[in-house]
């Protein structure tokens, strides 16, 4: 078990800031269901993200855009039931916060009230500043998300590295500072140059969690199904696979099929 697990009984937004101040890296993984959340939390992960990547991973959509607020609440409440220690953060899905701050607040309140999660995450910078403030004013902790923001994929046109050019890097730095000033407790930086991510992490007092953003940040997040190798068609450079569960599961399930066909399963000890 990890050191962090022994030291902190329950992770709060304050714990994450303490970790940054102590130089202790923050671990964050996605979870979308009770069983996975229990494993992830039990292994000592600090933050469980109920990401809108559930749209891809759980529902098989090409993008994160189709997942609804009701579906996010279903995933989030399943995760919350499996967690004893970690901080549960939930993505506000596309279309649930972009139109106006009141709608953003209503969506955040539904997530907090109906799932029991601890915080919400929103994609974007100054364009959604008023929504972020409105949610924070209601006492709901907010995590920001800059860089590659998958809800804007049709604007970007590609999932390639963001903020390589000076102009976009400058806007990202300004947005990160704005998120801190507005009161966000952390920011995710997705798929940007490591040098830029390090610079942002060093300039902020709140934790910066990276995905495809190098190791100069305060913590890391990846999609759990990717790191355990359950998904196998996705292999970006930033991903380290710790298992090849796709292959192991395929082997086990084929064996089951063979055993059923051969009337080998169940055997005498496996029946009543
Ligand atoms: O939805 C998600 O999984 C995310 C992470 C990739 C940061 O937002």
Q: Measure the CA–CA gap between 268 and 261, rounded to whole angstroms.
A: 16
Instruction: State if residue 221 touches ligand 1 by the CB under 6 angstroms criterion.
Output: yes
Helices 129-137 + 166-182 axis angle, to 10: 20
CB of 52 within 6 A of ligand 1: the answer is yes
145 alpha carbon – ligand 1 mean position (Å):
9
CA angle 29, 4, 24 (to 5 degrees): 85
Substitution candidate for ligand 1 out of 51, 59, 117, 236 with most atoms within 8 A of CB: 51
Domains and CATH numbers, the chain: 13-241 (3.20.20.60), 244-272 (no CATH)
Phi, psi for 219 (deg, rounded to 5)? -175, 175
Could you tell me the two tokens for 240? 């380290």
| Residues whose CB is less than 8 angstroms from the CB of residue 97 and which lie 6 or more positions away in sequence, other chains included | 103, 104, 107, 108, 122, 128, 131
Taking the chain (272 residues) in runs of 10, the rounded mean pLDDT of each run is: 67 98 98 98 98 98 98 99 98 97 98 98 98 98 98 94 97 98 98 98 98 98 98 93 98 98 98 97
| pLDDT score, position 1 | 47
Residue 269 tokens read as 């000890």
Note the pTM of the prediction, 2 decimals.
Answer: 0.96
- Whether ligand 1 lies within 6 angstroms of the CB of 229 is answered as no
Q: What is the DSSP string of 104-162?
A: HHHHHHHHHHHH--SEEE---SGGGHHHHHHHHHTT--EEEEEES-GGGHHHH-S-SPP
Buried b (16+ CB within 10 A) or exposed e, 72-111: bbbbbbbbbebbebbbbbbbbbbebbbeebebbbebbebb
So what's the pLDDT on residue 68? 98
Quick one: DSSP state of residue 65? T
Active site residues: 190
Q: Under a CB-based contact definition with an 8 Å cutoff, are residues 180 and 205 in contact?
A: yes
Instruction: Tell me the per-residue pLDDT of 254-266, one tens digit each, with 9 for 90 and over.
Output: 999 999 999 999 9
Verify whether ligand 1 is closer than 6 Å to residue 144 (CB atom).
Answer: no
pLDDT tens, residue by residue, 184-235:
999 999 999 999 999 999 999 999 999 999 999 999 999 999 999 999 888 9
Q: What is the pLDDT of residue 234?
A: 87
């Amino acid at each position: 078990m990890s050191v962090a697990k022994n030291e902190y009984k329950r992770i709060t937004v304050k714990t994450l800031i303490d970790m940054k101040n102590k130089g202790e890296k923050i671990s964050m993984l996605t979870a979308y269901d009770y069983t996975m959340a229990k494993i992830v939390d039990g292994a000592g992960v600090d933050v469980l993200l109920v990401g809108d990547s559930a749209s891809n991973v759980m529902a098989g959509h090409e993008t994160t855009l189709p997942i609804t607020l009701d579906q996010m609440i279903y995933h989030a409440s399943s995760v919350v039931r499996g967690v004893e220690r970690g901080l549960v953060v939930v993505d506000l899905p596309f279309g649930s916060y972009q139109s106006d701050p009141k709608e953003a607040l209503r969506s955040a309140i539904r997530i907090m009230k109906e799932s029991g999660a601890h915080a919400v995450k929103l994609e974007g910078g100054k364009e959604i500043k008023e929504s972020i403030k409105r949610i924070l004013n209601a006492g709901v902790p907010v995590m920001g998300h800059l860089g590659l923001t998958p809800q804007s994929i049709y604007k970007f046109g590609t999932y390639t590295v963001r903020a390589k050019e000076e102009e976009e890097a400058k806007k990202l730095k300004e947005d990160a500072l704005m998120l801190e000033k507005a009161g966000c407790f952390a920011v995710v930086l997705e798929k940007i140059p490591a040098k830029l991510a390090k610079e942002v992490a060093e300039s902020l007092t709140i934790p910066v969690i990276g995905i495809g953003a190098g190791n100069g940040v305060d913590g890391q997040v990846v999609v759990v199904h990717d790191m355990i190798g359950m998904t196998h068609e996705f292999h970006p450079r930033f991903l380290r696979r710790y298992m090849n569960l796709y292959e192991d599961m395929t082997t086990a399930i084929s064996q089951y099929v063979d055993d059923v066909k051969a009337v080998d399963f169940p055997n005498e000890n496996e029946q009543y």
